[in-house]
């Protein structure tokens, strides 16, 4: 009995307990781009709102075994929704010690942010591809880790090449520097214990540098969409996508009777109650729309589908 109590005490004091699927926040997107285009997206895979005041982001710079900066969070993250945290530097800053200009975050990326750091170095949101990042509770419980703290991977960070999974001087192989990463849909919880090796490709998908159009929503197999509705298992084809005109064609494997188009703030810009169920149709969209939107179909079996649409 004494051994069990001691083991439990050790786990709690170490700040790392194994999370159950869909029970705790985790990082869903990582942006390490030009200038100070640094962003972390946090996803709530649970059916309840979560108070972000109880969480913080920490950076473990250049292989440090202890955190070097902390950013407290605030607000509430809704069920199956995301919060985007960005660097807050909006002007160029001359760094006298290094003899260079520190460039600001892109306006496009800053606008997508829900929370921002102060914009004054140092904060965790000045990470680059060789820093480990954690999402922790204010009591020290680690709920997710990006990278591996206490082990410096080199200036170019981590890649997907064994045996070390670090880029070394092969900067072109890096996944964590000059990349946008999206957590795979099958990941339902964060990494709560510092890994022996950070095998980045096992949980993350890589897309090009300075790509921001997948922020503010996340696809996860916790069985519901970012707006709390049951995910349809039906196949849906939307074309053309990106949309270059005013028509979106929809082809689904099950009857649907309502179509909505939403912007990234969740506001409806189009709402079509069809009256008659169908599996195929073309919808006309307003000519002044441009950017990333979400197309939502309501199926007759009380399920729904949420698909990203890019309008040019």
Q: What does the pLDDT look like over 176-218, one tens digit per residue?
A: 999 999 999 889 999 999 999 999 999 999 988 998 888 888 8
- At the topology level of CATH, where does 2-207 sit? Immunoglobulin-like (2.60.40)
Residue 4 has a pLDDT of 45
Copy the structure tokens of residue 121. 């170095």
DSSP string, 236-259: EEEESSSB-SSEEEEEEEEEEEEE
Distance from C-alpha of 260 to C-alpha of 129, rounded to nearest angstrom: 38
pLDDT band at 7 (very low <50, low <70, confident <90, very high): very low
Distance from C-alpha of 163 to C-alpha of 165, rounded to nearest angstrom: 6
Residue 181 has a pLDDT of 94
Place of tokens 């990941």: 187
User: pLDDT tens digits for 272-288?
Assistant: 888 889 999 999 988 88
Residue 2 has a pLDDT of 45
Cβ–Cβ < 8 Å for 20, 101: no
Integer-rounded Cα Rg, in Å, for the chain is 21
Residue 1 has a pLDDT of 46
Burial class from Cβ neighbours inside 10 Å (0-12, 13-18, 19+) for residue 18 reads: exposed
The CATH code that applies to domain 236-311 is 2.60.40.1930
Distance from C-alpha of 268 to C-alpha of 108, rounded to nearest angstrom: 21
Place of tokens 């990278």: 147
DSSP 89: -
Residue 182 has a pLDDT of 92
From first CA to last CA, the distance across the chain in angstroms is: 65
Highest mean pLDDT among 137-146, 232-241, 243-252, 253-262: 137-146
The pTM of the whole model exceeds 0.85: no
Tell me if domain 2-207 and domain 236-311 are identical in fold.
yes
The pLDDT of residue 22 is above 80:
yes
**Nearest by Cα to 306 from 243, 246, 258:** 258
pLDDT band at 78 (very low <50, low <70, confident <90, very high): confident
Distance from C-alpha of 271 to C-alpha of 33, rounded to nearest angstrom: 36
Sign of CA dihedral 305, 78, 134, 181: positive
Structural domain boundaries in the chain: 2-207, 236-311
**Nearest by Cα to 118 from 145, 83, 94, 93:** 93
Q: Tell me whether the omega of the peptide bond preceding residue 186 falls within 30 degrees of 0, making it cis.
A: no
Residue 287 CB neighbour total at 10 angstroms: 9
């Amino acid at each position: 009995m004494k051994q069990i109590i001691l083991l439990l005490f050790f786990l709690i004091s170490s700040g790392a307990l194994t999370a159950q699927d869909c029970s705790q926040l985790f990082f869903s997107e990582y942006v390490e781009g030009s200038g100070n285009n640094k962003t972390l997206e946090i996803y709530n895979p649970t059916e309840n709102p979560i108070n972000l005041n109880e969480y913080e982001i920490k950076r473990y710079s250049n292989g440090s075994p202890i955190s070097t900066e902390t950013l407290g969070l605030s607000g509430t993250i809704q069920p199956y929704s995301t919060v985007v945290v960005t660097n807050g530097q909006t002007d160029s800053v001359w760094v006298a010690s290094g003899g260079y200009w520190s460039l600001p975050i892109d306006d496009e990326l800053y606008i997508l942010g829900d929370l921002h750091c102060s914009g004054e170095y140092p904060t965790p949101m000045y990470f680059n591809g060789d820093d480990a990042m954690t999402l922790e509770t204010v009591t020290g419980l680690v709920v997710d880790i990006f990278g591996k703290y206490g082990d410096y991977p080199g200036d170019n960070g981590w890649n997907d090449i064994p045996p070390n999974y670090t880029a070394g001087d092969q900067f072109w192989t890096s996944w964590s520097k000059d990349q946008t990463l999206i957590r795979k849909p099958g990941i339902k919880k964060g990494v709560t214990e510092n890994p022996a090796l950070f095998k980045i490709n096992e949980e993350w998908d890589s897309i090009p540098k300075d790509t921001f159009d997948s922020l503010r929503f996340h696809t996860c197999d916790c069985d519901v969409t970012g707006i709390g509705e049951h995910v349809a298992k039906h196949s849906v084809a939307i074309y053309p996508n990106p949309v270059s005109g005013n028509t979106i064609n929809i082809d689904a494997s099950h009857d649907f009777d309502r179509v909505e188009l939403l912007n990234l703030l969740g506001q409806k810009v189009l709402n079509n109650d069809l009256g008659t169920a169908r599996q195929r149709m073309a919808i006309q969209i307003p000519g002044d729309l441009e950017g990333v939107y979400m197309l939502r179909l309501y199926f007759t079996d009380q399920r729904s589908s949420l698909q990203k649409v890019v309008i040019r």
